A and B are shown apart, each in its own frame.
Chain A
């Protein structure tokens, strides 16, 4: 039982929720997502993000379109599908419940 393992387990659970909440605000490019998460002090490897996005896309949560880029090959911009929205909604509810519960438990005197 080491502390790092537990920490990463905790982070893992909310990864999808974080990514979806970034994409929900508008079309997003994977490396932008990484930047944004870094800025919020949530470090994620780009190599971890791509499989996750692909899985979400294959589950019809996300969709993407190709956008021409002047700095290389065309980029994939991801956005939420209605199904993804619903999914996000449920995650959000769960998160709020969890946060409240955890907060209540942790701060109980």
Chain B
């Protein structure tokens, strides 16, 4: 009684006895090994298989119910076994040097057959780099994929794997190895919840099926629970359980395994899936029994190597004599152990570099994809309408997630050596990615459109004259406390960003700039100019009007808000506030260092770039080209924490810094009395940036002179000003 299986053999369905199938498989494998060094190997094998298929269908036509062992053996006999036509065709190939090689090949076959105690080899027939992993797998009787994955893990976890691999690569001899335990990872579709991945893994490792299931499901359940709790207390934005941390990794791992692992369909595949028992015990036993006769094998290896060298030496000699012109390649092949090692090292080095680059790219993509979640909160302030949101999500998933999944799939396929059964997969990935690309472009176009038009609103405030002729401008460092919207992916930007605070309810900006100008009359004036972009003039105007930037004066102190917020429902359209402070002649002004926190940047889609200025330096004419309509004449360069006085010639520093108490006393005398009260309220004032030089770069004609005077202390500013003369 024999089992009959149906195989798809060159797109013909062939009923065949399972034992006959085994024979056929072994025969094809032996051919594959024989032609391992042949250029057209796959074609030759395919031709021979084709002939088999033809003869099979002839047999079946004659009325046979199935292909039997005898049928297969007859065909193999007429085809000839590799050892039969071993040297018959080598001479026909024309390469005389081949003869020696083929001879050593059959010899190798013989030693393989007799040399029962197994040895570690590099597999030359099943390799990705040097065949080390599959050699090891053969030795340990496990799926090469497992060894490969372990190697990769070792490489990323400290780099020991790279070294080990290279050493083994150099040290181990190559040999064409028969596949070890016919055992592979399959998806077990007989027992599946989603894709049968977990039960396939369980079958492979002979563990209970619930273990891998729990491992896959636990983070998912946990994060789902977490999301629910968060939903109850906070707000919930987006599928965190997909993209978030460990759970997300396993989620993607499951998907990738689902794609990569072939389904166990036929009986033999199901057998392969279970295979023979592989556990730590059996691996230990294998190694133990081998270590037992290690010394003997070492000796064997020594003698074998000696004989090998002698043999190759003779070969070289012989082929040199016989085929003087053709011996060169053979000699090179046989005699360059060192050359081989160096070649291996170079190859490994380049692969290492390439691997590093690929790894970096993957990590960058990961980072983008996962940190992209942060953008979720910001996106509410940028995107408008259903279509933009839809496009944003589509581009996020297709443009960023798809390449990661594709890369992982490719990597794991490469590692496990799975023949891609589905060629369409690559097309699907590429198509989806291209769709993602178009979505991204469309989104960008739509967003840019929203930034097309610029408008501003002005508001003029006349300040009451401070009682001692000096105005101090500072921001009210309010406690800008905000509620963390997301405990895992909190936006944690330092203050050096224009968006100093962002959560679901408000989006705070500090794109503020302060200009100092000369006042027309004898009192201080403040002009607040609010800018905004929008898709049209009207929208831009509206956006500008919605900016809430209130300036407060209490005697000599001009208090500015830390920034302004964009409330929920409003959009970020590069809103900016320009504060023009007009100082009357003879009056003083100081800008507290807290205004350094202001960050000013302009988005200009018409010039298709984003300008990002640290602080206002009106020294480049091109820089304020964007708002020509604003009066920017007569504004002066200033530094923080420097006391300036307005003269008819412009703004001049009083050259004294508030460094210590002496200075302060002197200043007190010079200025009016109450001055220090304000300053005492602000303890940080005195000590902050004590060495800040103050070149009074006032007006076009004075700049050169004063800058030259200050050159020692402030050479870079000098260079700057000199450049712009």
Q: Which residues of A contact B (CB under 8 A)?
A: 8-9, 12-13, 15-16, 30-31, 44-48, 50-55, 57-58, 69, 71-73, 75-76
The interface bits of chain B over 23-49 (1 if a CB of A lies within 8 angstroms of the residue's CB, else 0) are 000000001000100111001100110
B54 pairs with A75, CB closer than 8 A? yes
Q: What are 8 contact pairs spanning A and B, CB under 8 A?
A: A12-B91, A16-B92, A46-B48, A47-B80, A48-B85, A55-B40, A58-B39, A73-B53
Bound-complex Cα distance A72 to B47 (A): 13
A55 touches B93 (CB 8 A): yes
* Contact (Cβ within 8 A) A47 B57: no
A30-B51, A48-B88 given; A71·B58 CB < 8 A:
yes
- Whether B31 pairs with A47 at a CB distance below 8 angstroms is yes
Inter-chain contact A72/B58, CB cutoff 8 Å: yes
Contact between A45 and B47 (Cβ–Cβ < 8 Å)? no
Q: From known contacts A8-B88, A47-B31, A47-B48, infer whether A71 and B40 are also in contact, taking CB-CB under 8 Å.
A: no
With A45-B85, A48-B80: A71-B57 Cβ-Cβ less than 8 Å: yes
B12: A residues at CB distance < 8 A: 72-73
B396: interface (CB < 8 Å): no
Shortest Cβ gap from A58 to chain B (Å):
5
A42–B393 alpha-carbon span in the complex (Å): 71
Contact across chains for A47 and B58 when beta carbons are under 8 A apart: no
The docked-state distance in angstroms from the alpha carbon of A31 to that of B10 is 18
Most B CB within 10 A of own CB, among A48, A69, A72 = A72
Closest residue of A by beta carbon distance from B86: A48
Q: SS class of chain B's interface: helix, strand, loop or mixed?
A: helix
A65 to B643, CA, bound (A): 93
The docked-state distance in angstroms from the alpha carbon of A55 to that of B47 is 13
B-side interface size class: 20 to 34
CA A72 to CA B62, docked complex, whole Å: 13
Instruction: From the candidates A15, A16, A45, name the one contacting B79 in the complex (CB within 8 A).
Output: A45
A46 close to B54 (CB less than 8 A): no
Known: A15-B92, A51-B89. A46 touches B51 (CB 8 A): yes
Instruction: In the A-B complex, list the 3 residue pairs whose CB atoms are closest, starting with the nearest.
Output: A45-B80, A72-B54, A72-B57
Q: Shortest distance in angstroms between A1's beta carbon and chain B's nearest beta carbon?
A: 15
Measured between beta carbons, the chain A residues less than 8 angstroms from B43 are 54
Contacts of A47 in B (CB 8 A): 31, 48, 79-82, 84-85
Q: Known pairs A30-B47, A58-B40, A71-B61; list 16 more (Cβ under 8 Å).
A: A15-B92, A45-B84, A45-B88, A47-B48, A47-B80, A47-B82, A48-B80, A48-B88, A50-B48, A51-B35, A52-B89, A54-B40, A57-B40, A72-B53, A72-B56, A73-B10
Decide yes or no whether B87 CB sits under 8 A from chain A. yes
Task: With A71-B61, A72-B57 as known contacts, state yes or no: A50 contacts B47, CB within 8 Å.
Answer: yes
**Among B35, B40, B51, B85, contact of A31 (Cβ-Cβ < 8 Å):** B51
Give chain A residues whose Cβ lies under 8 Å from the Cβ of B48: 46-47, 50
Chain A residues with Cβ below 8 Å from B295 are none
CB atoms of B78 and A46 under 8 A apart: yes
Minimum distance in angstroms from A66 CB to a CB of chain B: 10
A12 to B86, CA, bound (A): 12
Report the bound CA distance from A46 to B92 in whole Å. 14
Asked if A76 meets B58 with Cβ closer than 8 Å, knowing A46-B80, A47-B82, A48-B80, the reply is no
Give complex CA distance A76, B44 in Å.
12
Chain B residues whose C-beta falls within 8 Å of the C-beta of A51 in the assembled complex: 35, 38, 40, 44, 89, 93
B92 touches A12 (CB 8 A): yes
**Is B50 an interface residue, CB under 8 A from the partner?**
yes
Q: Is B11 an interface residue (CB 8 A)?
A: yes
- Complex Cα–Cα for A76 and B48 (A): 11
* A12/B88 contact (C-beta < 8 A), A71-B57, A73-B54 known: yes
Contacts of B39 in A (CB 8 A): 55, 58
- A residues in contact with B11, CB < 8 Å: 73
Which chain B residues border A9 with CB–CB below 8 Å? 91
- For residue A13, which residues in chain B have a CB less than 8 angstroms away from its CB? 91-92
* Secondary structure class of chain A's binding surface, majority of residues: helix
Q: Which residues of B are interface residues toward A (Cβ below 8 A)?
A: 10-12, 31, 35, 38-40, 43-44, 47-48, 50-51, 53-58, 61, 78-82, 84-85, 87-89, 91-93
Shortest C-beta distance, A14 to chain B (Å), equals: 9
Contact at A73–B50, with CB atoms within 8 Å?
yes
| Chain A, residue nearest B9 (CB) | A73
Name the residue on A nearest B87 (C-beta). A8
Q: Which residues of A contact B61 (CB under 8 A)?
A: 71
CB distance from B596 to the nearest CB of A (A): 73
Shortest beta-carbon distance from B91 to chain A in Å: 4
Nearest CB in chain A: distance from B110 CB, A:
18
B57 to chain A: which residues have CB within 8 Å?
Answer: 71-73
- Docked CA distance A69–B48 (Å): 16
Residues on B with beta carbons closer than 8 Å to the beta carbon of A15: 88-89, 92
Please indicate the chain A residues that have their CB under 8 angstroms from the CB of B79 in the complex.
Answer: 45-47
Q: How far is the CB of B60 from chain A (nearest CB, A)?
A: 9
Which residues on A sit within 8 Å (CB–CB) of B92?
A: 12-13, 15-16, 48, 52
CA distance A44 to B85 in the complex (A): 9
Is A69's CB under 8 angstroms from B31's CB?
no
Q: A19's closest neighbor in chain B, by CB? A: B92
Q: Cβ of A55: which chain B residues have Cβ within 8 Å of it?
A: 39-40, 93
For A57, the chain B residues whose CB sits under 8 A away are 40
- Give CA–CA (A89, B40) in the complex, Å: 26
Closest CB in chain A relative to B99 CB, distance in Å: 10
A26→B711 CA distance, assembly (Å): 95
Q: Which of A48, A58, A71, A76 contacts B47 (CB 8 A)?
A: A76
CB B675 to nearest CB in A, in angstroms, measures 95
For A9, the closest partner residue in chain B by CB is B91
A-side contacts of B81, CB under 8 Å: 47
**Nearest Cβ on chain B to A16's Cβ, whole angstroms:** 6
Residues of B within 8 A of A52 (CB): 89, 92-93
* A8: nearest chain-B partner, CB-CB: B88
Please give, as numbers and ranges, the residues of chain B lying within 8 Å of A12 by CB-CB distance. Answer: 88-89, 91-92
Name the distance in Å between B71's Cβ and chain A's nearest Cβ: 14
User: How long is the Cα–Cα vector from A55 to B92 in the complex, in angstroms?
Assistant: 10
Would you call B44 and A50 a contact (CB within 8 A)?
Answer: yes
Q: Which residues of A contact B55 (CB under 8 A)?
A: 72
* Smallest beta-carbon distance A46→chain B, Å: 5
Q: A13 to B92: give the CA distance in the assembly, Å.
A: 6
Q: For residue A72, which residues in chain B have a CB less than 8 angstroms away from its CB?
A: 12, 53-58
Q: When chains A and B are docked, how far (Å) is the Cα of A84 from the Cα of B275?
A: 50
Chain A residues whose CB sits within 8 angstroms of the CB of B78 once the complex forms: 45-46
Chain A residues closer than 8 Å to B47, beta-carbon distance: 30, 50, 53-54, 76
Q: How far is the CB of B64 from chain A (nearest CB, A)?
A: 14
**Distance, CA A47 to CA B88, complexed state (A):** 10
In the complex formed, the residue of A with least CB distance to B61 is A71
The CA-CA distance from A48 to B58 in the complex, in Å, is 22
Inter-chain CA distance A50–B92, complex, in Å, is 12
| In the complex, residue of chain A having the shortest beta-carbon distance to the beta carbon of B84 | A45
Q: For the complex formed, measure the closest distance between the CB of B239 and the CB atoms of chain A, giving whole angstroms.
A: 49
CB-nearest residue of chain B to A58:
B40
A65 CA / B85 CA spacing, docked (Å): 26
Docked CA distance A24–B237 (Å): 75
Closest A residue to B56 by CB, please name it. A72
